[in-house]
Each structure stands twice: as structure tokens, then as C-alpha cells.
Amino acid sequence: MKLLLVEDNLENAKLIVRILQTGGYDVIHKATALEGMGTARTGGFDAILLDFDLPDLDGAQVGLALRKYLSTTPIIALTAHADRVSRAKAKRFGFNAFIPKPFTDDDLLNTLGMLLNSVAT
């Protein structure tokens, strides 16, 4: 399965890519919202993992924009802001899941697996 990770922090991105590759996923990483949006538009991704705190655009707004043309692709919010407001914002903006940082390998892989299984059925 092919995933798009949009994460500006290089150390976080390396860690997340390693976790996902260990889980058997093919991962494309982009460091900015604009790069991520351009790559997402090419299609072919089974899911998108999107940091809420990107330097060029608000991650929640990016998720909302992506949802308009990727209606069935799961979009997962990754954020250090684990408060109720951020969770509600992710839901309101069309994200399928919300994973607060820091997270475990299992948190990430289990959430992704559940989402991808629900899309496949």
C-alpha cells in the first residue's frame, strides 16, 4: 500500500517513515503542505498522514482542501496538540483519524490498519 506523509520535522519524518516501512507500506514523504498537496493530487495513495503544524499552511486547512478531491482516501492527523479543540477541528475538517504525538509504533500501525480495512470492506 502506498502512503503519503506530510511532515516538516525531518527527524519525525524519518521515524514515521521507518515505522511505516517496517509495517510493509511504501511511503512518499513531503516536507511542506504545498508539496504534499501537489503530490496528493497525482493520486494513487491509499492514505495520507498529515501533520497539523506545517510551516507554509495550516495542516487542518490542507486536510479540508484534500478532502474535496480525495473523498474516500483516509486522511490521518498527526499532531502534538492532543486537546479536544484540535480533535474536534480534525473531525470537522474531514480527517478520518487523529493520532497525537508522541505515539507508539503500534498506535500508528493499528490506526492505519483499521482505517485501510474499513475502506477495503
**Helix 105-120 vs helix 10-22: crossing angle, to nearest 10:** 60
CB 90 within 8 A of CB 111: no
What is the 3-state composition of the chain as percent helix, strand, coil, each rounded to the nearest 5?
A: 50, 20, 30
Point out the residues of the chain with pLDDT beneath 50: none
| pLDDT in the model for residue 46 | 96
| pLDDT in the model for residue 121 | 59
Q: Tally helices (H) and strands (E) across the chain.
A: 5, 5
| pLDDT in the model for residue 104 | 96
| pLDDT in the model for residue 56 | 87
